């Protein structure tokens, strides 16, 4: 398929030749749709905790995490460009769209207002005069372009999201604060890991260096913050519309493979309990209570499950029968009903990484939903994106519409087995759950491939527990005007 020079090029960038050939084959065949059997609902795949249960988990949290390694994993590599789509459109056309009009009307409510005003002053302009004269382009330019704050090119993690008494706070800082509320280890240390893009890592490190001592002093903790970048070796090959390799300047074109590529970053880390949450899902301090409560509750539930699972696996190893006990508890406490007819299959089912996923009631926000999915002969709980479901199939569309919850990317994970060994996470990915998208490059159409999503197919073979969490724990920022919502003020 490839010439010797092309093979050398593929290997020189760290890519696996066999995997690249498989990607070409996947482009040709496409990825199969998921076969959703029914939506996960309360009691049938989704655990609904009572107020008493939540309180009980909170009370036992500190004792449960005693001596455990905790890690907060935050995907933070995405650029904020799409946040400002309407503002960029205004700059390009000069026409004041409704989103830009609202942005200008409420501009003083944004946490970055002060630094934006100061930026304009340095440029010899006055914010007040520009607003008074309805000359908005210089304001938007100063916010987005490189000669100003450059927000149009920065990642979300470095933008000023919230106003505090000590000044504006970025999402990265909000995650530092969150970590101090639920991810402190017994030794007073907090481990955070951010995945960032290569061009922005230095900025993240500079921001951290300026701020970390203040937060350490405020909370009496020690931060251990690390960064990693999406591995070049995980990039996927691009093809033309005939599924032939796409060339640019005479070389094969590879593209970043989406957040599913971060499975390798996660696999390089080790901890007993790993919290995963997107960079932009943060709130000001006065609204953090629900987030902290449910992070602790989900982690406590995870540890409860592992205590049960490890106990059953040890008993099986000793030749003791616990099948009936395990099946009853899995159904009554954890809302799952695995098809395990004997102790051997129970042991195989339990000996896998575990994820506890918060699920919020469906309010029309975009996001994957929880479903029971059939893969060959096995039925399991999965987070399914709409793009993975065959909407041309009326029955599949009907099941999709019955879904009552969706995934806000709120996970607590256990990645060690009952003997304390870390799982090799790549072994639990379903490689047939990737995504194919259409893009353009230098005016030419191409097809690109994303690896199975980090919380979708990348965790397809994990043990999955879904837990209902309040909508107050889900506050993403998709557009700049989302920062005007009460949850960010």
User: Residue 488 and residue 482: Cα distance in Å, rounded?
Assistant: 8
Place of tokens 């503002």: 87
Q: How many residues does the chain have?
A: 489
- The model's pLDDT over 142-168, given as tens digits with 9 standing for 90+, comes to 999 999 999 999 999 999 999 999 899
Q: Give 394's pLDDT tier (boundaries 50, 70, 90).
A: very high
The one-character DSSP state at 458 is G
Interatomic CA distance for residues 68 and 412, integer angstroms: 14
Where does the pLDDT of residue 364 fall: very low under 50, low under 70, confident under 90, or very high at 90 and above? low
Task: Calculate mean pLDDT across residues 311-318.
Answer: 96
342 vs 44: CA distance, rounded Å: 22
DSSP labels, 120-136: HHHTT--HHHHHHTT--
pLDDT value, residue 16: 86
pLDDT at 47 over 80: yes
Model pLDDT for residues 219-258, shown as the tens digit of each residue: 999 999 999 999 999 999 999 999 999 998 889 999 989 8
When pLDDT is cut at 50, 70 and 90, the band that residue 365 belongs to is low
Contact 81, 152 (CB under 8 A): yes
Cα torsion angle, 339, 341, 345, 350, sign: positive
Residue 213 structure tokens: 């001592």
Would you state the pLDDT for residue 14?
Answer: 85
pTM of the model: 0.93
- Tokens in use for 6? 């092309």
List the alpha helices (DSSP H) in 73-200.
85-93, 98-105, 113-122, 127-132, 137-144, 171-182
Main-chain phi, psi angles of 151, to 5 degrees: -65, -25
**117 φ/ψ angles, rounded to the nearest 5 degrees:** -65, -45
Given a contact cutoff of 8 angstroms between Cβ atoms, the answer to whether 201 and 238 are in contact is no
**Predicted local distance difference test score (pLDDT) of residue 98:** 95
On whether the CB atoms of residues 27 and 243 are closer than 8 A, the answer is yes
User: What is the residue-wise DSSP string for 211-269?
Assistant: HHHHHHHHHT-EEEEEEEE--GGG-EE-B-TTSPBPEETTEE-EE---GGGGHHHHHT-
pLDDT digits (tens, 9 = 90+) for 111-140: 999 999 999 999 999 999 999 999 999 999
Question: Angle at which helices 201-219 and 171-182 pack, to 10 degrees?
Answer: 40
184 DSSP β-pair partners: none
């Amino acid at each position: 398929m490839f010439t010797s020079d092309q093979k050398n090029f593929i290997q020189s960038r760290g890519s696996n030749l066999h995997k690249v050939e498989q990607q070409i084959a996947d482009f040709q065949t496409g990825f199969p749709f998921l076969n959703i059997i029914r939506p996960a609902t309360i009691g049938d795949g989704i655990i609904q905790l009572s107020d008493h249960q939540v309180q009980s988990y909170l009370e036992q949290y500190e004792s449960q995490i005693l001596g455990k390694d905790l890690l907060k994993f935050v995907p933070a590599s995405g650029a904020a460009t799409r946040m400002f789509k309407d503002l960029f459109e205004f700059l390009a056309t000069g026409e004041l769209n409704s989103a830009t009009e609202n942005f200008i009307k409420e501009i003083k409510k944004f946490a970055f207002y002060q630094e934006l005003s100061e930026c304009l002053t340095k440029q010899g302009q006055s914010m007040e005069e520009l607003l008074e004269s309805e000359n908005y382009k210089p304001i938007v330019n100063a916010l987005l372009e490189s000669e100003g704050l450059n927000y149009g090119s920065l990642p979300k993690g470095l933008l000023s999201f919230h106003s505090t008494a000590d000044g504006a706070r970025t999402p990265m800082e909000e995650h530092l604060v969150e970590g101090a509320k639920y991810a402190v280890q017994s030794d007073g240390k907090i481990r955070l890991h951010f995945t960032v893009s290569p061009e922005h890592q230095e900025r993240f490190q500079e921001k951290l260096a300026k701020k970390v001592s203040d937060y350490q002093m405020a909370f009496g903790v020690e931060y251990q913050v690390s960064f990693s970048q999406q591995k070049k070796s995980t990039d996927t090959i691009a093809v033309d519309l005939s599924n032939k390799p796409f060339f640019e300047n005479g070389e094969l074109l590879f593209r970043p493979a989406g957040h599913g590529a971060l499975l390798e970053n996660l696999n390089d880390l080790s901890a007993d309990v790993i919290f995963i949450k997107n960079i932009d899902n943060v709130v000001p301090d006065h609204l953090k209570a629900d987030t902290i409560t449910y992070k602790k509750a989900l982690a406590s539930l995870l540890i409860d499950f592992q205590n049960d699972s490890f106990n059953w696996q040890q008993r099986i190893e000793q030749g003791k029968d616990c099948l009936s006990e395990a099946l009853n508890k899995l159904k009554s406490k954890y809302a799952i009903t695995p098809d395990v007819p004997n102790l051997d299959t129970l042991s195989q089912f339990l000996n896998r990484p575990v994820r506890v996923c918060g699920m919020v009631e469906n309010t029309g926000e975009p996001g994957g939903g929880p479903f029971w999915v059939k893969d060959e002969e096995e039925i399991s709980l999965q987070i399914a994106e709409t793009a993975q479901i065959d909407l041309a199939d009326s029955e599949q569309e009907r099941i999709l519409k019955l879904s009552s919850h969706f995934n806000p990317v709120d996970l607590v994970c256990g990645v060690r087995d009952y003997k304390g060994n870390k799982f090799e996470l790549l072994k639990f990915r379903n490689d047939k759950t990737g995504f194919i998208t259409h893009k353009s490059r230098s005016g030419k159409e191409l097809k690109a491939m994303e690896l199975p999503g980090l919380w979708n197919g990348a965790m397809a073979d994990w043990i999955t527990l879904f837990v209902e969490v309040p909508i107050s724990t889900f506050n993403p920022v998709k557009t700049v005007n989302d920062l005007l919502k009460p949850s960010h003020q």
